[in-house]
Structure 1
Amino acid sequence: MISFAVNHTQALFETTYQTMAKEAVEPVKELFMDLSLYILGAETTVENAVARFFDSLFPLVYTRRINPGIVHLSEEYTECLRLTRKEINPFGPFFKAMITELSKSIWASRMLNHGLNMGIEVINTTEHVVITKDCSRALVKMQYCPHCQGLTLIRSCVGYCLNVMRGCLASVAELDTYWREYIATLEHLTNEMAGSHEMELALLRVRYIANEAILYAQLNGPQLSATVDKVCGQPEQRVMKSSLDTMMQTEEDTDTYSLRESHTATLNTKRSSLPLKASKNEKPRSLKKISREFVNYMKRSRTFYASIAERLCDEVVRDSSTCWNGEDVVESYTNRVVDNGLKAQINNPEMKVKGPDPLINHVIDKLYHFNQMETEKKKSKSERFALEMVGVDMEKK
């Protein structure tokens, strides 16, 4: 999507603002590179990325659209234009509009990326959890002690297996509450990115907002020139324009007012989801569809850490008339079957569980803070919305 948005935005300059198309390539690439780095967790902000883009864009707009007679622009003068961009606000409301448009979905993408990396860490940690000596003894007793009596085909009793596995995985089961909330958080972030805030549309609209910003600067060209002259002085000017230059500039100015409508129409025809890369025999799939598939897949793992002991004991033959209870072959397991989690293991008749696993506690702490961060973000957004509505009501009054 980033690659598509880069090409889509560069096309604006190639088709509409050809005089600055070549020099606009780097600012456009830098903008989307900064957004990519932000999504991947870099210590930057969407506002900084957009500010850097408009800082680079202003000298181009000033010399190619507002004052096309400028022959040469020194590095000092270019830097002055960059520095004054923030103070004189040549692009009007469109600077903040781009930040607002991108921040909603890009933040969700950043958090989702962070969340997926955390999920990998949780899975890797639980996959390589250390087996205690008590667990090892209980597993050997359950799996191999019947063999000493020649009972190679007998299966363990279901209750017996559950007690052993719940004892061995007591620390892992403590992840259950936090993992369920984590899955809910991933679902929320995915919906924010691909649903209500539509990352695809936000990236697509960069071109539209950039065009509106350039048009705004052109319409306010005389005032901007007067302000820039006071701050930065006057750059070198052409002595006279050729008739061809004058004619081309007149045509550009005439077309400026029709560009707004044409680009708005173009945007409306492309508001549907951007097609992601697909093979020749496949139909393009939107981010929304892929995200929905992802969420549905992840939902199936919501109870994974609560049901892992049951899954591992699923191979036990439940309809058998006899089973191994750890001591002998019996018709049924009569000892108490404990629940999941560390507290329940106090009453486990098959093994002793001494305490929590430090590595599991570490990832639990990480999951907790990740879920809390998302909760606080949702709260702050709700509070900000409430304040904005109060402000609207006050203005009406």
Structure 2
Amino acid sequence: MLQIIVHLILCYCTFPTTYGVVMAKKSLLNCDIAKTYFVTEGFLLSEIPKEPIPSKELRICGGISSGGLVCCTSDMEDRLQMNAKDKHDKATKQTLQRLQYILHTRAIKFHDFFNNLLKTSKRSFHEMFKKTYGILYEQNANVFTDLFEELETYYTKGLGNLDEVMNTFFNTLYQKMFTVLNSQYRFDNKYLECVGQHMKEMKPFGDIPQKLGVQIKRSFIATRAFSQALQVSSEVLKKMQQLKATDECSAALTRMTLCPSCSGINEKVLACNNMCENVMKGCLTQHAALDSDWNQFVEAVDKVAERLLGPFNIELLVQPINYKISEAIMNFQENSNDVSQRVFAGCGRPVLGRRRKRSVFNENNNFDKLKSMNVRKDFGPKANKKDENDEEKHHEKKGEEHTSSVIILDKLVKEIKQRIRDSRQFWLYLPYKLCNDGLVVPPSNTNDCWNGTHIDKDAAAIDVA
């Protein structure tokens, strides 16, 4: 009996002590501190526990709670995880959108500039040739408009072979001119095929087809590559925005950003820097995998830009293309008799037809007028000075427009080039960028941050990714 009494006394004395410990632990956790934060996360007051509850039902935040008590339910934890995932996806998307916007707008600006360049060149070509050759040009304008259409098609769609485009153009022009300069004869298709076959050995246009063909090919290829690079890189960034955080990532984000509130810690506390970097690296592994390819893209664009600013400058090629083709025509005219005799020797003497009027090429001194126009030095002899005063003001104005346009193009390419350079290692630094945008404690306050389990006064972090 005495033993029973002693046991009861001991139990009686022990009970209040155990109860007091539990109450002490419970009292250490004040859920009112996190209540305001939970409300901002979209919870109703009726959904938030007024008092600490057991943490055993929580999958993420339960294991790091103090004393096995928390201030959020399992339903709240699920919603908090979804919120963490949505915030991460939104922050990542916004960061990618900023770079995508830069590349997309520059791609449009460059594309519009080049299209306007082609349209201006085409219009200038038409005006000059119509004034110089009159009805003869209008009757054969399709030869020249087809050339511009082929060049536009290559730039916009990448279709066609530029070597074939230029060969076809000069071959067709050669046959048309041969027919006009020998208008007293009749030529059937078979004879004209023979005429075309002798073009390479005749070189009626001098070396202009070869020079112009090389310049057009390298400049258009570089220009299209530059434009396509901007468009494709913009599309890559757009597609990467569609990637969503995995369950493992969202769990790590919840532990890093939301579990402190479940543990009753003030909502203002931010993650320690190392912890955030570890979590973000785990969440952005697919993004980081792009870094090597992206850096190669940056280097490639840089090289193409250098060429567009130098020997492949599309502006210096397209703008004066009318003068270059005009000089080719002049070369043919100067050697037309020799070319015709050599063709007759190779293809046979054609049949005389009804006598036509004198060639429009030679009417109204069109040949002399054409020779008076300023042709670039690297495409043949200097132009004669006859009628130079009549053209001087016109060319001064065109020269000013041309120089201004080149400056605009150079400035645009340089600006794009620098923007692309700035994106080097973009994917590698993305985790650090997101952390520094508000997820981590500022450097001046690193003595008070969340390390994944508790407030760390020494800012030591653990890997929880």
User: Are residue 44 (structure 1) and residue 168 (structure 2) matched?
Assistant: no
Amino acid at match of 1:330: D
Q: Distance in 1 between matches of 2:400 and 2:351?
A: 45
User: Are residue 18 (structure 1) and residue 134 (structure 2) matched?
Assistant: yes
User: Are residue 335 (structure 1) and residue 461 (structure 2) matched?
Assistant: yes
Query: In 1, are the aligned partners of 2:183 and 2:356 still within 8 Å (CA)?
Result: no
Q: Distance in 2 between matches of 1:228 and 1:173?
A: 65
Query: In 2, are the aligned partners of 1:180 and 1:303 still within 8 Å (CA)?
Result: yes
- 230, 244, 256: which is aligned to 1:142? 256
Counterpart in 1 of 2:448? 322
Cα distance 1:73–1:216, how it changes in 2: closer, same or farther (>3 A)?
same
1:333 is displaced (CA, Å) by: 3.4
1:170 is displaced (CA, Å) by: 2.4
User: Are residue 208 (structure 1) and residue 292 (structure 2) matched?
Assistant: no
TM-score (norm 2): 0.62
Counterpart in 2 of 1:312? 434
Cα distance 1:232–1:135, how it changes in 2: closer, same or farther (>3 A)?
farther
Between the aligned residues of both structures, percent identity stands at 23
User: Are residue 109 (structure 1) and residue 231 (structure 2) matched?
Assistant: no
Matches within 5 A, 1:160-175: 160-175=275-290
Q: Distance in 2 between matches of 1:37 and 1:126?
A: 30
Q: Distance in 1 between matches of 2:360 and 2:212?
A: 33
Mark the runs of 5 or more structure 2 residues left unpaired by the alignment: 1-116, 374-381
Q: Distance in 2 between matches of 1:38 and 1:232?
A: 38
Counterpart in 1 of 2:402? 274
Cα distance 1:54–1:235, how it changes in 2: closer, same or farther (>3 A)?
farther
Cα distance 1:246–1:183, how it changes in 2: closer, same or farther (>3 A)?
closer
Counterpart in 2 of 1:291? 413
User: Are residue 180 (structure 1) and residue 304 (structure 2) matched?
Assistant: no
Query: In 2, are the aligned partners of 1:323 and 1:331 still within 8 Å (CA)?
Result: yes
Matches within 5 A, 1:80-99: 81-82=195-196, 84-86=198-200, 88-99=202-213
1:221 is displaced (CA, Å) by: 0.9
Deviations 1:164-222 (A, max 9, x none): 00111123223323323322221221221233332101112322221111111111111
TM-score (norm 1): 0.72
Q: Distance in 2 between matches of 1:33 and 1:216?
A: 25
Counterpart in 2 of 1:372? none
Q: Which moved more, 1:105-114 or 1:213-222?
A: 105-114
Cα distance 1:286–1:240, how it changes in 2: closer, same or farther (>3 A)?
closer
Q: Distance in 1 between matches of 2:210 and 2:360?
A: 34
Q: Which runs of 4+ in 1 moved over 6 A?
A: 263-268
Amino acid at match of 1:59: Q
Q: Distance in 1 between matches of 2:141 and 2:219?
A: 24
- 231, 242, 261: which is aligned to 2:383? 261
1:253 is displaced (CA, Å) by: 5.1
Q: Distance in 2 between matches of 1:292 and 1:247?
A: 44
Deviations 1:20-60 (A, max 9, x none): 22134322222222222323352433222211221221233
Query: In 2, are the aligned partners of 1:176 and 1:305 still within 8 Å (CA)?
Result: yes
1:287 is displaced (CA, Å) by: 0.7
Cα distance 1:224–1:250, how it changes in 2: closer, same or farther (>3 A)?
farther
**Count of residue pairs the alignment pairs up:** 329
Name the Cα RMSD after superposition: 3.3
Query: In 2, are the aligned partners of 1:172 and 1:305 still within 8 Å (CA)?
Result: yes
- 205, 215, 239: which is aligned to 2:355? 239
Q: What secondary structure is seen at the aligned counterpart in 1 of 2:309?
A: helix
Q: Distance in 2 between matches of 1:37 and 1:96?
A: 21
Q: Distance in 1 between matches of 2:351 and 2:313?
A: 43
